[in-house]
Amino acid sequence: MKRLSKTIDRIKPVDKEIMEEAQKRLDQLTKPHGSLGRLEELAKRVVGITGKPNPALNHKLIITMAGDHGVVEEGISAFPQEVTSQMVYNFLRGGAGINVLAKHVGAKVQVVDMGVATDLERSPELIIKKIGYGTRNFTEGLAMSPEEALQSIEAGIEIVEELSQNGLDILGVGDMGIGNTTPSSAIIAVFSGCRVRDVTGRGTGIENKVFDNKVKVIEKGLVVNKPNPEDPIDVLAKVGGFEIGGIAGSILAGAAMKIPVVIDGFISTAGALMATELAPLTKEYIIASHNSQEVGHKVMLERMGLRPLLDLDLRLGEGTGAALGISLVEAAIKILTEMATFADAGVSERTNEIPYQ
């Protein structure tokens, strides 16, 4: 708890004054005021997050957290549990969607074993922070102990603190774990008070019969465990996942170190929600990359007051949406730092009578 408490204490409001200065520069660039829309908003946010008037994204990192879930015993996924470890090896070989998109945007991928159900072979690209060999089936009791929930969050904090020592300008977070849309749906159902069916999607593409079972499984887990929405660690312990806790910790660490954090889809947003429930100021440091096909994703984003950058019907996870989001953030920063002002370019500014079109 000590590491978590210290991290939360370090999270401060973003710098509004420097954001105002950034807005002044944006208004002086050779374009009509506000004509680059949300790119301008993004640039200003990153300035406020970092406290730097001319930030640069030289060190881009995407952390993909992996973990298994005991609730897959209830038949809630289209894929068997062993796919989690198989996909981790695919990440390490560079063959997954996240590897392609991270390379596209010039980001490094760091894979973390937070709770895969098997022992993975050692690799320089793999960090092992295994809390357990998958969570327990939450229809029969707690998914993990409160101590394990705290451990998963603090492991996420520790990972970012360690990786930032070599330089870290922007952080993306992603996930891998068969069955992990089920705990994510349970988490948003608890915090929002919405009906389970209204915040549960089809994950990897399950059919109607499996979907109906998935809803019943989540409802049963909530009845059995009675998670307390006023206590995020209680919620994580009762219906969460090790990788979700790790993502939450990573985001808290990023906010504490004034690093912009780009979240991916439904599962990483569940981690973000956990982080903001623990430390509400964290939401000022989070950039939502996209709105996924999962119906509960939009509910999570609305609860945090976050507006996604993209809506591409993505539902892969891994950090793929975060990679695309990082690309847009970098474009926004380059607009701020590389585009000429009217004075630089010798271009006349607009007048009230003759607007620049």
- State the catalytic residue, choosing from 40, 154, 294, 318: 318
Give yes or no: 318 in active site.
yes
Which tokens hold the place of 12? 């401060």
Half-sphere exposure of 83 (CA within 13 A, CB side): 14
23-30: long-range contacts, CB 8 A cutoff, minimum separation 24: 25/53, 25/336, 25/341, 26/335, 26/336, 28/341, 28/342, 28/343, 29/335, 29/336, 29/339, 29/340, 29/341, 29/342, 30/339, 30/340, 30/341, 30/342, 30/344, 30/345, 30/347
- CA proximity to 79, closest of 93, 90, 68: 68
- CA proximity to 178, closest of 85, 91, 68: 68
Question: Which phi and psi angles does 125 have, rounded to 5°?
Answer: -90, 5
Residue 28 CA to residue 26 CA, distance in Å, equals: 5
Active site (catalytic) residues: 318
